[in-house]
Amino acid sequence: MARTPLTVLVTGASTGLGLALAQRLLRDTPHQLVLTAREASLPRFAEAGVVESERVTLVPLDVTRPVERKAAVAAAERRFGHVDGLVNNAGVAYRSVLEHVTEGDFLDQMDVNYVGPVALTRLVLPGMRARRRGRIINLSSVGGMMAMPTMAIYSASKFALEGATEALYYEVRPWGIGVSLIQPGFVHSESFEHTRFTAGSQRSSGDHGEAYHAHYEYMTPFIARLMHAARATPDSIARKIVRTMERRRPPLRVPVTIDAWWFGWVRRFMPRPLYHWLLYRSLPGIARWGEPKALPSTTETPPEKPAITVDTRSLPRP
């Protein structure tokens, strides 16, 4: 199937890994591209030198909106006749302990990372089955393999996506449709700076007396250091996505960074109690997590208690 021209729809293609993938597809393949982003983000394509052409159409798409999902697939079919490949790249990450998550935060996280990709997949599958070929590429994460503190609902969304994708892998294989999960770990990019905080996690991050403050105080810079030290880049991951898409029989799970391979190996072969103990002991500053709140210090002299006086004239005489 390699180098057979495909019509590929990519979500979240105006920045980060999505943009790197769009540029690599344009430069190294003959594929026709339907590149999508939220309406407000469309100008970023021109800034990056990506413009509409015979091979490229740019389409506004907020993956959380059913009307826009249907419109994007319809636009692709009008322009190129069909959709052969879908790359569900658009995503968002919330940094928050579970106690600081509201229902709105949780639903937003799930809508972008799970509901949207699954809904888009359902829209393109009938055409793929009719042509008996297609590629579904879902962007997962190490967070879909293991959970990290302060990233509870992010991991929940990726775990859900992994489960649905694994079932889909078996369901559509009889029609020659390849389904793959791309699993990046830490990537040398600025994407971690776009991580969202909930109202509760934002408040706790700035309050040294708050119960979960140490969780954020240590985890946030820890993740930033790992991102900066990582050797993988959006372009190196984009290259592996293209390679996966063009394989005759693409695998279900594709770890694309060294740490993703390592965590996958450890999770598979290490006894589970030892695995959890090791990861817990490796958390940054774990000795300070859960410490009692510090009492506010003060140098003021406490006010003297008023003296108690007794009027002896009212006491009974012996």
Give pTM, 2 decimals: 0.89
Question: Which domains does the chain carry?
Answer: 7-202+232-271 (3.40.50.720)
One-letter amino acid at 118 equals V
User: CA dihedral in degrees (20, 88, 81, 173; nearest 10)?
Assistant: 120
> Catalytic site residue 212?
no
Please give the C-alpha separations between residue 302 and each of 223, 299, 305, 306, 307, in angstroms, as whole numbers.
44, 9, 9, 12, 15
pLDDT given for residue 192 in this prediction: 62
pLDDT given for residue 316 in this prediction: 46
- The secondary structure of 128-177 as a DSSP string is HHHHT-EEEEEE--GGGTS--TTBHHHHHHHHHHHHHHHHHHHHSGGGTE
Choosing from 114, 154, 212, 218, the catalytic residue is 154
With a cut of 70, list the residues of the chain below it in pLDDT: 1-3, 191-193, 293-318
pLDDT given for residue 300 in this prediction: 47
Distance CA 44, CA 201 (A): 30
pLDDT given for residue 50 in this prediction: 97
Determine the straight-line distance between the first and last CA of the chain, rounded to whole angstroms: 116
